[in-house]
């Protein structure tokens, strides 16, 4: 049974941060990592991310599924870049140091390798942070802090419910898919990819049907207990912002400021060692 | 009649906007403070609609036309709004799993207070008070979904207790609970009523189980009307239950077979209060001795042999421990035990949905473990508990044909086969309907039909009768028995003690991942040790036999079942 998203309850400094500040840092961190091609900076972010990961006391084994999935996407991304643009690095860095040639136009240049390294670093610097956010953020507490940041509580609560139902829905998908296989829909590796995707799509209907039943029941249950009565609501899991939260957000802002300043001073988003 | 009623219906009627006919007609009754009321009736009689009217889902969530009057604490509900009502009427919905809102037990209990904008500290204090009352204090940080059935019920009760409500409304509180937990749930309801002094309304069709606690009045409904409003004792001696299609307690049926006519004065509503005189007891004893000897059980050659099956889930939960069992060809077998005892895992292992870490399974002498899910499905069909999880086509015909289409049969063959199966399942008139037009029970039959179309030799059903009233229960079970007679091996996973007694030739009892007993239903339900260990419930027949001085309770129960089968057939 594969679980991709899951909150893992544990005691750590990362868990103690409010969900909203973690969310803010995640967004700022991702903006910084996505916009820049400053390789040393990306290396630093990756190392910092891994350190934070170990501070959170989440074990790699617990998020294995998500790691494997993103690694696969990363690999695919790199292969596609190379297939369609083997000279991308040359174009960007404005120089060409050929190491060897595979076949025809597929040469391997230092510049292309650096470009691929950048792409890989973008993944390695952001993915741990996304996993970290999902694994260390209690959905209810996240809703509470989003609400505190001014997000309408109905939307905040909907987000929390959605996060909570992700594991349930995964379990249900698994059960439904097994019962479909028992009726002769082959979804194992024996079948070709296209047919497997079509088979997976056929599970969507029962999943939606049972999901809608559940939405109906939960909506009534919420209303019967007064959800939506007032303009505001309080939160059992509500937590106050601490100075550490503020520091984290300031740090996130600084990351974005750094990448912006670097691009302006350097004249380009790319760190170019070939000049 | 000094005090004003908490709830007062006067010629109340309701018609859902989407429906052509009113669902409720001319409903009039009062409920006073501290009363315990049971509203009973077959599926579709309107009892759930009454519940929705009381808690305000009607007219605020479900739109429609109201006639007459419904007052709660002297005010018309339609002038109040659902939120004002939520402070007076606390509702525990039917499906406890689906109604949990909070991530943890504590948050779920606090939910109503959060919506009332109470301070965080105040909520923490109130939640810990309530948790203490309900013995949930050790579980505050757990997810409600991970708790046992009985604990879940207590969490939902806690969630409505925070509001100091005047009325507790329980919509089918016994659905999906194992028998022992069902009994605890009823005792909890009784305890809460005494503690708070509030009125309690229970909507259920399982009469005998509700009457485990003293009930003041039973309101019996049929086709949107109240057909009886009386004390349970009065109701049970009348003929109205049978007319409404509600099953009377088994001990009453047994008494009637023996020629005993219970009177209201004998307090027949509960086996604990039932007063039998010497004459009655003699009649029952005489009936027992005259009843024919038990029918001989068939011994069938094994179809599926299971040896030393071991399975542990990834999270370390050891769901089956060294299970060995034989399932005979053409047998009708029940699998019982409390939630989490390993029943469903057992079924999944047989179908190949999970792979055991150790053990062997032989199907007609062939190794089952080397077969894929698809290959096993050619011999063994599995019907999941929730039909919505299986149905993936919008039209009934397509749904039943799906497995055959996947097997690449030609369309002529498919049509013939599907029509044949639909006829067997009583769904032929609906063959061109969309699935969404069917009731829950009919959908269940569609899923059974879609499995039968594949011609399995054995069919495993997870809770085939959950949520069905007596009429539909009888329909489905008689249908399965027909199939069984024509040679199909039937395995039923169930919490329903009646089903196990009446429709299984043999029952295996699961407890903590092991099979602790393998015997007839009558034998199991008259064995106090097994009943206790597996969270089952003794049948009331056992107590009746005891009261009448019949020492071999097992034989008494078996003779009753055999007799009942002949009478009802």
B263/B246 Cα distance (integer angstroms): 19
Does B80 lie in the same domain as B185?
A: yes
Does B564 lie in the same domain as B463?
A: no
Structurally, chain B folds into a number of domains equal to 4
Does B212 lie in the same domain as B267?
A: no
Does B228 lie in the same domain as B151?
A: yes
Whether A206 contacts chain B with CB within 8 A: yes
Does B557 lie in the same domain as B413?
A: no
- Check pLDDT > 60 for residue A42: yes
Does B329 lie in the same domain as B432?
A: no
Does B440 lie in the same domain as B415?
A: yes
Of B61, B115, B393, which has the smallest distance from its Cβ to A225's Cβ? Answer: B115
Q: Which of residues 142-171 of A touch B (CB under 8 A)?
A: 160-161, 164, 168
Of A160, A179, A219, which has the smallest distance from its Cβ to B382's Cβ? Answer: A179
A128/B137 Cα distance (integer angstroms): 36
Handedness of CA B53, B56, B62, B64 (dihedral sign): positive
Of A138, A206, A236, which has the smallest distance from its Cβ to B114's Cβ? Answer: A236
- Check pLDDT > 90 for residue A167: no
Whether A218 contacts chain B with CB within 8 A: yes
Q: What domain range includes position B421?
A: 385-454
Q: Which of residues 338-357 of B touch A (CB under 8 A)?
A: 348, 351-353
Determine, for residues B101 and A225 on separate chains, whether the beta-carbon distance falls below 8 Å. yes
Of B98, B107, B353, which has the smallest distance from its Cβ to A237's Cβ? Answer: B107
User: Which two structure tokens, joined as six digits, stand for B367?
Assistant: 């190794």
Whether A226 contacts chain B with CB within 8 A: yes
User: Which two structure tokens, joined as six digits, stand for A105?
Assistant: 């136009």
Give the three-class secondary structure for B26.
strand
A228/A232 Cα distance (integer angstroms): 8
Q: What is the mean pLDDT of each run of 10 residues along chain B (569 residues)?
A: 82 90 93 94 87 91 92 92 90 77 88 90 92 88 78 87 90 83 89 92 92 95 93 92 88 92 90 89 91 70 92 85 92 89 91 91 91 89 85 87 88 93 86 81 86 92 83 85 91 91 92 92 90 88 91 90 84
3-class secondary structure for B108-161? HHHHHHHHCCCCHHHHHHHHHHHHHHCCCHHHCCCCHHHCCHHHHHHHHHHHHH
Q: Is residue B325 part of a domain?
A: yes
Does B566 lie in the same domain as B505?
A: no
Length of chain A: 275
> B454, B484, B503: which is the final residue of a domain?
B454
Does B471 lie in the same domain as B427?
A: no
What confidence score (pLDDT) does residue B102 get?
83
Determine, for residues A210 and B386 on separate chains, whether the beta-carbon distance falls below 8 Å. yes
Whether A189 contacts chain B with CB within 8 A: no
User: Which two structure tokens, joined as six digits, stand for A55?
Assistant: 């501070």
Which pLDDT tens digit goes with each residue over B180-225? 888 888 999 999 999 899 999 999 988 999 999 999 999 999 999 9
Q: Is residue B481 part of a domain?
A: yes
- Identify from B388, B406, B440 which residue to disrupt to test chain A contact, counting A C-beta atoms within 10 A and taking the largest count: B388
Does B238 lie in the same domain as B147?
A: yes
Whether B120 contacts chain A with CB within 8 A: yes
Determine, for residues A210 and B120 on separate chains, whether the beta-carbon distance falls below 8 Å. no
Q: HSE-up of A156 (CA within 13 Å, CB side)?
A: 25
The structural domains of chain A, with segments of one domain joined by +, span 1-138+240-275, 141-236
| Nearest-by-CA chain A residue for B355 | A1
Determine, for residues B112 and A226 on separate chains, whether the beta-carbon distance falls below 8 Å. yes
What confidence score (pLDDT) does residue A2 get?
41
The alpha-carbon gap from B91 to the nearest alpha carbon of chain A, in Å, equals 7
Q: How many CB atoms lie within 10 A of CB A138?
A: 22
The alpha-carbon gap from B436 to the nearest alpha carbon of chain A, in Å, equals 10
DSSP A18: -
Contact B423, B429 (CB under 8 A): no
Of B102, B116, B391, which has the smallest distance from its Cβ to A226's Cβ? Answer: B116
Contact B486, B465 (CB under 8 A): no
Determine, for residues A236 and B110 on separate chains, whether the beta-carbon distance falls below 8 Å. yes
Residue B221's domain is classified under what CATH number?
3.40.50.300
- Identify from B373, B401, B409, B418 which residue to disrupt to test chain A contact, counting A C-beta atoms within 10 A and taking the largest count: B373
Length of chain B: 569
Which pLDDT tens digit goes with each residue over B420-466? 989 888 889 888 888 877 777 788 889 999 999 998 999 999 988 87
Q: Is residue B286 part of a domain?
A: yes
Determine, for residues A183 and B450 on separate chains, whether the beta-carbon distance falls below 8 Å. yes
Q: Is residue B536 part of a domain?
A: no
Q: Is residue B122 part of a domain?
A: yes
Of A182, A218, A235, which has the smallest distance from its Cβ to B114's Cβ? Answer: A235
Whether A208 contacts chain B with CB within 8 A: no
> B504, B519, B534: which is the final residue of a domain?
B519
| pLDDT category of residue A3 using cuts at 50, 70 and 90 | very low
Interface size between A and B, measured as CB pairs under 8 A: 156
What confidence score (pLDDT) does residue B297 get?
64
Q: Which of residues 49-68 of B touch A (CB under 8 A)?
A: 55-57, 60-61
> B212, B228, B248: which is the final residue of a domain?
B248
| pLDDT category of residue A1 using cuts at 50, 70 and 90 | very low
> Average pLDDT for residues A225-254, to the nearest whole number?
89
The alpha-carbon gap from A150 to the nearest alpha carbon of chain B, in Å, equals 16
Does B367 lie in the same domain as B328?
A: yes
The alpha-carbon gap from A137 to the nearest alpha carbon of chain B, in Å, equals 12
Q: How would DSSP label each residue in B548-563?
A: TT-S-HHHHHHHHHHH
What confidence score (pLDDT) does residue B220 get?
95
Does B340 lie in the same domain as B423?
A: no
Q: Which of residues 64-103 of A touch B (CB under 8 A)?
A: none
């Amino acid at each position: 049974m594969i679980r991709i998203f899951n909150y893992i309850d544990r005691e750590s400094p990362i868990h103690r941060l409010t969900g909203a500040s973690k969310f803010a840092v995640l967004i700022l961190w991702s903006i910084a990592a996505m916009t820049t091609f400053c390789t040393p900076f990306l290396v630093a972010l990756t190392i910092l991310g891994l350190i934070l990961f170990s501070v959170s006391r989440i074990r790699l084994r617990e998020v294995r599924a998500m790691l494997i999935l993103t690694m696969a996407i990363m690999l695919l991304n790199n292969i596609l870049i190379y297939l369609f643009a083997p000279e991308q690095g040359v174009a960007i860095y404005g120089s060409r140091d050929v190491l060897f040639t595979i076949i025809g136009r597929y040469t391997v240049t230092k510049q292309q390798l650096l470009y691929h390294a950048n792409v890989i670093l973008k993944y390695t610097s952001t993915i741990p942070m996304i996993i970290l956010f999902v694994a260390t953020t209690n959905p209810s507490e996240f809703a509470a802090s989003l609400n505190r940041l001014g997000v309408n509580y109905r939307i905040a609560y909907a987000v929390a419910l959605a996060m909570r139902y992700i594991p349930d829905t995964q379990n249900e998908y698994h059960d439904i898919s097994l019962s479909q296989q028992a009726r002769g829909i082959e979804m194992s590796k024996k079948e070709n990819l296209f047919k497997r995707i079509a088979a997976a799509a056929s599970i969507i209907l029962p999943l939606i049907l049972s999901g809608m039943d559940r939405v109906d029941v939960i909506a009534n249950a919420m209303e019967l207990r007064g959800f939506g009565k007032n303009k505001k609501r309080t939160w059992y899991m509500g937590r106050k912002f601490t100075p550490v939260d503020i520091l984290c957000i300031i740090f996130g802002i600084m990351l974005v400021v750094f990448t912006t300043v670097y691009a302006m001073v350097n004249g380009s988003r790319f760190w170019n060692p070939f000049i | 009649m000094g005090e004003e009623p908490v709830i007062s219906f006067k010629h109340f009627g309701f018609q859902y906007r989407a429906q052509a006919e009113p669902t409720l007609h001319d409903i009039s009754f009062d409920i006073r403070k501290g009363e315990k009321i049971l509203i009973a009736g077959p599926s579709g009689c309107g009892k759930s609609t009454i519940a929705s009217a009381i808690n305000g889902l009607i007219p605020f969530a479900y739109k429609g036309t109201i006639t007459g009057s419904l007052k709660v604490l002297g005010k018309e509900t339609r002038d109040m709004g659902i939120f004002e009502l939520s402070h007076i009427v606390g509702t525990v919905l039917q499906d406890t799993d689906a109604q949990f809102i909070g991530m943890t037990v504590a948050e779920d209990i606090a939910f109503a207070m959060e919506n009332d904008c109470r301070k965080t500290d105040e909520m923490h204090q109130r939640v810990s008070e309530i948790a203490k009352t309900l013995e949930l204090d050790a579980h505050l940080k757990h997810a409600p979904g991970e708790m046992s059935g009985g604990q879940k019920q207590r969490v939902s009760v806690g969630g409505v207790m925070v509001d100091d409500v005047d009325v507790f409304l329980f919509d089918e509180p016994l659905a999906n609970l194992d028998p022992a937990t069902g009994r605890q749930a009823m005792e909890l309801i009784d305890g809460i009523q005494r503690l708070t002094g509030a009125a309690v309304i229970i909507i259920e069709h399982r009469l005998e189980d509700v009457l485990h606690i003293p009930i003041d009045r039973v309101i019996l409904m049929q086709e949107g009307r109240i057909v009886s409003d009386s004390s349970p004792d009065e109701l049970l001696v009348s003929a109205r239950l049978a007319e409404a299609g509600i099953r009377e307690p088994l001990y009453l049926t047994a008494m009637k077979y023996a020629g005993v006519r219970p009177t209201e004065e004998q307090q027949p509503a509960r086996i604990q209060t039932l007063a039998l005189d010497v004459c009655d007891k003699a009649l029952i004893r005489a009936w027992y001795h005259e009843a024919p000897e038990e029918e001989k059980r068939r011994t069938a050659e094994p179809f599926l042999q299971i040896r030393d099956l071991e399975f542990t889930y990834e999270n370390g939960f050891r769901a089956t421990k060294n299970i060995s069992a034989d399932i005979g060809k053409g047998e009708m077998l029940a699998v019982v035990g409390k939630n989490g005892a390993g029943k469903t895992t057992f079924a999944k292992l047989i179908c190949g949905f999970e792979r055991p870490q150790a053990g062997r399974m032989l199907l007609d002498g062939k190794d089952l473990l080397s077969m894929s899910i698809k290959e096993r499905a050619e011999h063994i069909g599995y019907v999941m508990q929730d039909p919505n999880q299986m149905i993936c086509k919008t039209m009934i015909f397509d749904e039943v044909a799906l497995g055959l289409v996947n097997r690449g049969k030609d369309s002529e063959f498919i049509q013939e086969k599907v029509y044949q199966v639909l006829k067997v399942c009583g769904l032929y008139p609906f063959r061109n309907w969309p699935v969404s037009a069917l009731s829950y029970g009919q959908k269940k039959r569609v899923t059974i039909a879609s499995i039968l179309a594949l011609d399995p030799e054995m069919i495993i059903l997870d809770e085939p009768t959950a949520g069905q009233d007596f009429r539909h229960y009888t329909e489905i079970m008689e249908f399965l028995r027909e199939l069984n007679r024509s040679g199909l091996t039937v395995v039923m996973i169930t919490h329903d003690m009646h089903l196990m007694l009446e429709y299984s030739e043999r029952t295996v009892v699961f407890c903590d991942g092991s099979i602790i007993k393998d015997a007839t239903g009558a034998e199991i339900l008259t064995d106090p040790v097994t009943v206790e260990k597996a969270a089952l419930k003794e049948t009331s027949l056992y107590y009746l036999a005891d009261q009448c001085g019949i020492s071999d309770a097992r034989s008494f129960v078996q003779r009753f079942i055999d007799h009942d089968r002949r009478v009802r057939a």
